[in-house]
Structure 1
Amino acid sequence: MEFQTLTVAIEGYVATVTLNRPDVRNAFNEFSIAELSLVFTDLGRMDSVRAIVLAANGPAFCAGADLNWMKKMAGYSYSDNVDDAEKLADMLRVIYLCPKPVVAKVQGDCYAGGMGLVAACDIAVAASGANFCLSEVKLGLIPATISPYVIKAMGENAARRYFLTAEKFTAQEAHRIGFVHDIIGADTLDAHVESIVKSLVTSSPNAVREAKVLVREVTGKSVDSALVVDTAERIANIRSSDEGREGVASFLEKRKPSWLA
């Protein structure tokens, strides 16, 4: 498919979705939101794709909202604003709930809504020169739509600071607060992401998918009898699945599992 704001490439089991509006620092608008929703929905359904990389073209990863889009929003009614914000919220949710693992490759500055994109991914890797900023309050706004994902990624304490101050912070600070998993030199960023993706695509596709669900559904729950039963049932289900049986059998027989054949 051809897109106005993205490029999509599939090589092997890996799909790379690249934000492709470098002239506006990959700021998003209603078109990029719609295209991201469509692409991640489709890739999530493709058996031939086992991992997705979210990348960007140009010196910035994403500058947040496009200025022309913001000018349109200035004339919106309340109901128009709700409808518009729900489209962004739905797009972030599609990425967050995508059944395939998603790796964000942040090669440059990542501001406002761009941080929401990164936070909705499963793994985030940033170039050492990248900067981050939740700039909304400087414009009289709040990072509401992206907040469920950003707070999960950086934690409540860090969110209290950066939501309120709109300070710009470095990749090193993003790593310290847990917003990104790794900081890598720009010259080795691609290779590092490739090594992570290799780990993803060589594991059981079903197990990776279920492990992603496991983290999402167990996080924050009390360790009570209901959770004990739930997790016992999850491991029982995966052990008796086709890939679970094949994985154990291949390990015992000292051979490659079928998904690597």
Structure 2
Amino acid sequence: MSMELIEVARDARGVATLRLARAEKHNALSAQMMTELEAAARALAEDDDVRVVVLAADGPTFCAGGDLAWMREQFGMDAETRKRESRRIATALDALAALPQPLIGRVQGNAFGGGLGLIAVCDVVIGVTGLKLGFTETRLGLIPANIGPYVIARMGAARARRVFMSARIFDAEEAVRLDLLARAVAPEELDDAVEAEVRPYLSCAPLAVREAKALLNTLAGTVTPAQVDLSIDALADRWESDEARDGIAAFFEKRKAPWV
């Protein structure tokens, strides 16, 4: 399929960069973008010449989360259609999590909501100092459901409890303590720091790296289809609530939600 919102580039070393290319919309995850992201990840998984994948983004924002215009459209859908739409981000995250190659995150700017799901599925993530992150869904009357299984797998429940429900904005240094980021570096050091994560893999046997990652995932416990389905159902139920309707309406009308 042709890509408009996702770019994929490969270098001679076998390093592929998977880039979110919707900078004018802060790389918000629209339906089209999630479909393209899933397709790109699945194609990279089948490419034996790719040894490492870097997940990056254009513009000043890494990912603002789910596209709210797409989310608002879901109010006019029946429950089953809404679940199918909701599954888009779950399948995109699953495709990234299932990459047999190491996935290195390059986070050059702020990330919220679904953007933290993208961070959570990476093996190692380097972010810049000064960025802001947050699970902002509950401010809108929603819940961080579809990203939840991957976030909990990454952070662990104890660390997730500090930020998962409160929509509190936190910085890169705290993200390191929460195990979302491996390191926080100055913006001018970001590319060198990402390269320092990539380079060691290029001296390793490619199939051994893939098998080591597969073993690690098996031993650690991967996200299950049942967990994904439970999360999709939880979000679908939340969409039916008055809070969700009030929260999304307040956002678009640039006013405070009733609970603020």
| Structure 1 counterpart of 2:5, one-letter code | T
Q: Distance in 1 between matches of 2:123 and 2:97?
A: 8
Tell me if the contact between 2:17 and 2:55 (Cα under 8 Å) persists in the aligned partners: yes
| Structure 2 counterpart of 1:8, one-letter code | V
* Mapping 1:139-178, distance limit 5 Å: 139-178=140-179
Does 1:19 find its partner at 2:20? yes
Please, which runs of 5 or more residues in structure 2 have no aligned partner? Answer: 223-260
Residue in 2 that maps onto 1:248: none
Q: Distance in 2 between matches of 1:106 and 1:63?
A: 12
* Mapping 1:1-261, distance limit 5 Å: 2-12=2-12, 13-219=14-220
SS of corresponding position for 1:165: coil
Question: Which deviates the most, 194-203 or 182-191?
Answer: 194-203
Q: Distance in 1 between matches of 2:36 and 2:203?
A: 28
Residue in 2 that maps onto 1:233: none
Query: Number of residue pairs matched?
Result: 221
Question: Which deviates the most, 51-60 or 200-209?
Answer: 200-209
SS of corresponding position for 1:129: coil
SS of corresponding position for 2:10: strand
Please, which runs of 5 or more residues in structure 1 have no aligned partner? Answer: 222-261
Deviation at 1:201, TM superposition (A): 2.3
C-alpha RMSD of the superposition: 1.4
SS of corresponding position for 1:161: coil
| Structure 2 counterpart of 1:149, one-letter code | Y
Q: Distance in 1 between matches of 2:165 and 2:193?
A: 33
Deviation at 1:2, TM superposition (A): 4.3
Q: Distance in 2 between matches of 1:45 and 1:208?
A: 15
Deviation at 1:153, TM superposition (A): 1.7
List structure 1 runs of 4+ shifted beyond 6 angstroms. Answer: none
SS of corresponding position for 2:212: helix
Deviation at 1:21, TM superposition (A): 0.8
SS of corresponding position for 2:163: helix
| Structure 1 counterpart of 2:130, one-letter code | G
Deviation string 1:102-121 (CA, Å, 9 cap, x unpaired) is 11100000100000011011
SS of corresponding position for 1:49: coil
Relative contact order, CA 8 A, sep 6+: which one is greater? Answer: 2
SS of corresponding position for 1:82: helix
Deviation at 1:88, TM superposition (A): 1.5
Deviation at 1:93, TM superposition (A): 0.8
Q: Distance in 1 between matches of 2:76 and 2:204?
A: 49
Residue in 2 that maps onto 1:242: none
Deviation at 1:211, TM superposition (A): 1.1
Q: Distance in 2 between matches of 1:200 and 1:77?
A: 47
Deviation at 1:40, TM superposition (A): 0.7
Tell me if the contact between 2:117 and 2:150 (Cα under 8 Å) persists in the aligned partners: yes
Deviation at 1:64, TM superposition (A): 0.3
Q: Distance in 1 between matches of 2:80 and 2:89?
A: 15
Deviation at 1:213, TM superposition (A): 1.1
| Greater C-alpha Rg | 1
| Structure 1 counterpart of 2:187, one-letter code | A
Question: Which deviates the most, 212-221 or 8-17?
Answer: 212-221
Scaled by the length of structure 2, what TM-score is found?
A: 0.82
Deviation at 1:67, TM superposition (A): 2.3
Residue in 2 that maps onto 1:237: none
Scaled by the length of structure 1, what TM-score is found?
A: 0.82
Deviation string 1:146-189 (CA, Å, 9 cap, x unpaired) is 01111122221122231211000000000011111111110010
